[in-house]
Amino acid sequence: MILRLAIGSLGARVLTVAMTVLAIALSVMLFLGVEKVRTGAKASFADTISGTDLIVGARSGSVQLLLYSVFRIGNATNNVTWQSYQDIAARPEVDWIVPISLGDSHRQFRVMGTTVEFFDRYRYRQGRGLEVAEGAVMADLFDTVIGADVAATLGYTTGDPIIVAHGIASFAEHKDQPFRVSGILEKTGTPVDRTVIVSMEAIEAIHVDWRNGAQIPGQSTPVDVIRRMDLTPKAVTAALVGVESPLQTFALQRAINEYPEEPLLAILPGVALQELWAIVGIAETALLGVSAMVVVTALIGMMATIFSSLNERRREMAIFRAMGARPTTIMGLLVLEAVLTAAVGALIGMLLLYLGLFVAQPMIDNAFGLWLPIEAPTLRELWVLLGVVAAGAIVSLVPAVRAYRLSLADGMMVRT
């Protein structure tokens, strides 16, 4: 009975009610959307590198080592000598080890020297491997494999020549030794997309004629001479390590951290990612706070419309009272109307979110490398919806109590 009344009364003011529902729906969509992006970003971030048990570099901080070795942000404080690298590689706990050498660039992209094994060992998004979209991995000394973003931004296809610049932001280019794009990787959503990958030997080769950051004047070793040179690296910037068994991870980490010949640092990538996220994650809390405020604003908007409707409905309320409705019935009617409005708003918000996700998911993955899974709502999201409905009921109590107190006297004495 009261439900029918409530629905009928809402139907009578369909435009105002529709606006309120829309406001609540949009705010709920925003809130849940932010929540989705937040968890998606966190998961994508944590999945930047998987399958690697330890990252080894010169001793600095774990976040810094992670930043330069995985995200190519910032620079290494020091390199790891080739001898130490060999020592670690020879340890029994080590299943595999892949060296990384950084420090050069091509246009705005970092160049990374590594071995072909990198393509097998680097894993992201729960064990997904790198796939070559076009061409093949490096076979020749002057071959490069480029990430999807590099290819897209610079318009490269396989076979194109490229020149590697010395340093990160420098105009000194290694012009003597032009490289050739041998392969382009599939888009991964990881920093690999923005990396030009060459072999470790190639990094040595382009520095043959360089001393102290400048080319030795007049000296230019012909390419065929370089090819015959011993291009064993003198140092690596970092190394990705896989252990034989997880049980040995901590022992190996400690052994590397206490390596007496050179100050080294071994980090657990998962733990370092967590540390880094703890820094980056402050923004997510702010974002969540802002979207929660939007929901609150929408609910207060609903309260305002109920208040203003009270004025229009004075007579209606008075007639209900005159016909024998108790004040609590009037109050219940108002609260029920608000709950219905909030519930419909929340549901529509949810639907809009899934619709939006469905449409935008591939675009977001393409543009930002952010994978937002479309899943059934989590328990947390359902609680949010329930919370919105409950909050709707609570804010409607304020006008409802007013109606409860005034319903009879106010409606009967119509002032002109």
Partner 1 sequence: MKRAIPLCLTLLATPAFAHESREMGAHEHGVGELNIAVEGDTVAIELRAPGADIVGFEYVAESAGDRAAIDAAVATLAKPLDLFVLPAAAECSVIQASAELESDGAHEGHNHEEHAEAHDQDEHGHDDHAHDEHAAPEAGHSEFHAEYVLTCGNPGALSEITFAYFDTFENARELEVQIVTASGAQAFEVERDDPTLDLRGMF
Site residues for partner 1 per CB under 8 A:
50, 53, 245-250, 260, 263, 268-271, 274-275
Angle at 285 between CA 125 and CA 24, to 5 degrees: 100
Nearer to partner 1, 77 or 248 (CB): 248
Kind and range of the H or E run holding 3: helix 2-12
Residue 8: HSE in the Cβ half-sphere, 13 Å Cα cutoff: 7
Task: Report the C-alpha gap between 137 and 192 in whole angstroms.
Answer: 14
Q: How many CB atoms lie within 10 A of CB 200?
A: 22
Which runs of consecutive H residues, i.e. helices, occur in 239-326?
249-257, 269-280, 282-312, 314-322
**Closest approach of Cβ 61 to partner 1, in Å?**
12
**Closest approach of Cβ 260 to partner 1, in Å?**
6
Task: Report the C-alpha gap between 407 and 175 in whole angstroms.
Answer: 87
Q: How far is CA 192 from CA 112, 119, 149, 173, 274, in A?
A: 9, 10, 9, 22, 20
**Closest approach of Cβ 251 to partner 1, in Å?**
8
**Closest approach of Cβ 84 to partner 1, in Å?**
13
Which runs of consecutive H residues, i.e. helices, occur in 105-244?
118-121, 148-154, 200-206, 223-228
Sign of the Cα torsion 49, 53, 59, 63 reads positive
* Chain centroid to CA 275: 15
Nearer to partner 1, 250 or 383 (CB): 250
Nearer to partner 1, 312 or 375 (CB): 375
Nearer to partner 1, 242 or 377 (CB): 242
Q: Decide: 180 and 161 in contact? Cβ < 8 Å.
A: yes
Q: How far is CA 40 from CA 191, 259, 269, 315, in A?
A: 17, 38, 19, 52
Nearer to partner 1, 213 or 270 (CB): 270
**Closest approach of Cβ 265 to partner 1, in Å?**
12
Nearer to partner 1, 263 or 356 (CB): 263
The helix/strand/coil state of 210 is strand
Paired with 171 in beta bridges are none
Nearer to partner 1, 50 or 115 (CB): 50
**Closest approach of Cβ 246 to partner 1, in Å?**
5
**Closest approach of Cβ 31 to partner 1, in Å?**
24
Q: Decide: 329 and 406 in contact? Cβ < 8 Å.
A: no
Q: Decide: 173 and 109 in contact? Cβ < 8 Å.
A: no
**Closest approach of Cβ 32 to partner 1, in Å?**
22
Task: Report the C-alpha gap between 102 and 105 in whole angstroms.
Answer: 9
Nearer to partner 1, 278 or 412 (CB): 278
Nearer to partner 1, 250 or 358 (CB): 250
Task: Report the C-alpha gap between 374 and 356 in whole angstroms.
Answer: 10
**Closest approach of Cβ 264 to partner 1, in Å?**
12
Nearer to partner 1, 120 or 262 (CB): 262
**Closest approach of Cβ 286 to partner 1, in Å?**
23
Task: Report the C-alpha gap between 125 and 350 in whole angstroms.
Answer: 27
